[in-house]
Structure 1
Amino acid sequence: MTVRSESVSFESEGETLRGEVYLPSGARPEGGFPAVVVTGSWTTVRQQMPALYARRLAERGHLALAFDFRGYGDSSGTPRDVESPDQKAADIRNAVTFLAGHAQADPGRIGALGLCAGAGYTAAAAARDERLRSLALVAPWLHDAELVEALYGGPEGVAVRRKAGEEAARRWRETGEVTYVPAVSTTDPEAAMYGPFDYYLDPRRGAVPQWCNRFAVMAWPGWLAFNPIAAAPEIHAPALLVHSEAAAIPEGARRFHEALAGPKEFVWTTGGQLDFYDQEPAVTTAVDAAVDHFTATL
């Protein structure tokens, strides 16, 4: 199906968020298209994996929105590039408000698809917003305090990052200066993601011009304290998880799935974490599962 897109903007907590709505080419059905908010991994902008998934959903008959969070990409908001789970969850809820008022969308059939960290933000948003009627979480990064310690070098590694974040936040409050490190690097061990994360560094994949590859150090305490698994008992909307044992923290996905309060489905497949961002067959597997899920539940 041919897809058309339109540039849009909407408000979130006093800031202007910008994005694209991807629309199926067919005539608007009575009541409007089912609509999906699409979000990607941490530090990213809409031109990366959100745009790919939004377009693929529109090809299958769903209106889909990909947007830049506050302080990222083309959206307003300062300080820039601060990975705030609370802010991002609020931005998703405001994206739902935008879609509920979109002329082509059915306000009673709004869902969300979150990839990687976007899955956690989507979960946090859904726990507080019953307008989100269905969720699809792809290669979800879902952690709790125990998993955070395992991921970041034990209590000592967590403490080092938390202290650095607190010092960076104090510096920002006192001077207005934001301390940044690379979001991804193969040479700088201070990077938020240190290692061969090829998706982000390859201009043929995720290294798009709109992505500035930086992480505000002040964000560490909020990220380390974030517990999207705790949101699961508050989520009553039907939820699909698509994941792989070779992708990020499958144990977190299992804990989250077990704790969900509403109808739930798990699709285990193959592929590494970065494969789900733009590689086949991982993307098609995830999109097919999400479309089947949204068709049944929206």
Structure 2
Amino acid sequence: MLMRNQQRNLKSDFVTIVPCVAAICNLTSAAFAQQNKSRTAAIERKYPALADTVERRSVSIWSDGTKMAGDFYLPKDVAADARLPVIVFIAGTGGTKKGTPARMAPVFVKKGYAFFAFDYRGWGESDSKLQLLEALPEPDENGEVTVKARAIRWQMDFADQVEDIRNAIAFVAGEPNVDPNRIGILGTSYGGGLATWIAANDARVRCAAVQVPGMGGGRGPAAERRVLRLQTQQARGEVEPVPFETGAPGGKMSSYAHMRYNSAKGIGYSAIEAAEKITIPMLIIDAENEELMDRTKNGKRVAEILEANGTSVKYHVLEGIAHYGVYGKKFGEATSMEVEWFDQYLSLSSNSSKDDKQ
């Protein structure tokens, strides 16, 4: 299959690679597991039912030359000149716009918000990043090339996903029914750490909420040396430059076998350290029986940092649930708290007060 450049829509998860069997391609079962959730399957997945009063618009967002798929939710009868506060949803491990945010969006829209969800590059319905599998030929007079490349999907990639989030914020800030001075972010799980970093580093965001957040927890000296050694090996081509056959999560996260960790892309990323810079109001919701991480070193630790720095913060533990209970048993309670939090800090009156102080 021929490929002109990264700005073409990808038709499959293997862009220019001829379909083959494992014996020919010499791929492990882990490599095939990475591809068991294709872009086509994501497109074919059904949305949950949408209330008659809510409108959903499909949009495309450019992020560093690759198109991401997004969903923009509004009240169906919104006035042309209305300027609404908007919540940008930041997904967790393997999360896509047709999952949790599709359930949350109507709740926020009915309360007078616009709501925006998207799939990171290489996740869900979004186009893939590309890895060249051969020498790059000389571009033609239009700067175009025909290449053999691998579609890079389902990467846990802090550096690129921070860029994706910022481009999602940039996109929605340009929507005519959005008030760009009233942007909130809502991150869940792995996305809670990303949301924390964004809250510290993107001045467009006025309020944040995170639920069952994974903040990374930091690395010890030995782990840091291992990651730096991995980056050296990737740079020299001694191991896979981008995880494909390697990098699948195990243990408690083994249900995400299609995902790939690339710890080398997380060098210098620390949501805990970023929290020291946060000045906007932040809600942090944890699960009492959190089983995937130590919440005292994640959500609670960030809350302690914000409180010590005098930043408006609310820390709440949902009783009687483990990590995934926030999407089930306690979905309504968590979402109600989040709506209340954004009501407090993204209303026109609170926004005006903040502007007066700047």
Place the TM-score, normalised by the shorter chain, in its bin.
Answer: 0.7 to 0.9
- 5+ unaligned residues in a row in structure 2: which ranges? 1-50, 131-151, 347-358
Instruction: Tell me the residue number matched to 2:314.
Output: 265
Please point out which of 210, 229, 249 is paired with 2:294: 249
Deviation (angstroms), 1:268: 1.7
Report the TM-score, using the length of structure 2 for normalisation: 0.66
Please point out which of 152, 168, 187 is paired with 1:114: 187
Aligned 1:84-233 pairs, distance under 5 A:
84-145=157-218, 158=223, 162=227, 166=231, 169=234, 178-180=243-245, 191-195=248-252, 213-217=257-261, 219-223=262-266, 226-233=269-276
Please point out which of 253, 275, 284 is paired with 2:332: 284
Q: What whole-Å deviation, never above 9, does each CA across 1:204-260 have from its counterpart, x for those lacking one? A: xxxxxxxxx52235x123348632011111111110111123124211111111112
> Which amino acid in 2 is paired with 1:222?
K
8 Å Cα contact 1:23-1:58 kept in structure 2: yes
Deviation (angstroms), 1:165: 5.3
8 Å Cα contact 2:189-2:212 kept in structure 1: yes
Deviation (angstroms), 1:289: 0.6
Aligned-partner Cα distance in 2 for 1:24–1:5: 9
Please point out which of 53, 67, 89 is paired with 2:104: 53
1:107 counterpart SS class: strand
8 Å Cα contact 1:141-1:249 kept in structure 2: no
Q: What whole-Å deviation, never above 9, does each CA across 1:36-91 have from its counterpart, x for those lacking one? A: 11012123322222332334322332211110112222222233222111211121
8 Å Cα contact 1:171-1:177 kept in structure 2: no
Aligned-partner Cα distance in 1 for 2:66–2:288: 38
Aligned-partner Cα distance in 2 for 1:180–1:174: 10
> Which amino acid in 2 is paired with 1:74?
E
Report whether the alignment pairs 1:83 with 2:132.
Answer: no
Larger mean Cα displacement after TM superposition, 78-87 or 134-143: 78-87
Deviation (angstroms), 1:3: 1.8
Aligned-partner Cα distance in 2 for 1:140–1:176: 29
Aligned-partner Cα distance in 2 for 1:115–1:135: 11
Aligned-partner Cα distance in 1 for 2:60–2:116: 11
8 Å Cα contact 1:172-1:178 kept in structure 2: no
8 Å Cα contact 1:161-1:220 kept in structure 2: no
Aligned-partner Cα distance in 2 for 1:294–1:130: 17
Deviation (angstroms), 1:95: 1.2
> Which amino acid in 2 is paired with 1:250?
R
Aligned-partner Cα distance in 1 for 2:242–2:161: 22
> Which amino acid in 2 is paired with 1:286?
A
8 Å Cα contact 2:233-2:239 kept in structure 1: no
Distance verdict in 2 for CA 1:160–1:50, change over 3 Å: farther
Aligned-partner Cα distance in 1 for 2:54–2:229: 45
Aligned-partner Cα distance in 2 for 1:160–1:231: 21
Aligned-partner Cα distance in 2 for 1:164–1:19: 36
Q: Which of these two proteins has the greater Rg computed from alpha carbons?
A: 2
- 5+ unaligned residues in a row in structure 1: which ranges? 150-154, 182-189, 202-212
8 Å Cα contact 1:38-1:114 kept in structure 2: yes
1:113 counterpart SS class: strand
Q: What whole-Å deviation, never above 9, does each CA across 1:87-106 have from its counterpart, x for those lacking one? A: 11121111111111112211
Deviation (angstroms), 1:267: 1.8
Q: What's the % identity of the aligned pairs?
A: 25
Deviation (angstroms), 1:172: 6.4
Deviation (angstroms), 1:179: 2.3
Instruction: Tell me the residue number matched to 1:152.
Output: none
8 Å Cα contact 2:234-2:241 kept in structure 1: no
Question: How many residue pairs end up in the alignment?
Answer: 266
Deviation (angstroms), 1:108: 1.0
Distance verdict in 2 for CA 1:37–1:173, change over 3 Å: farther
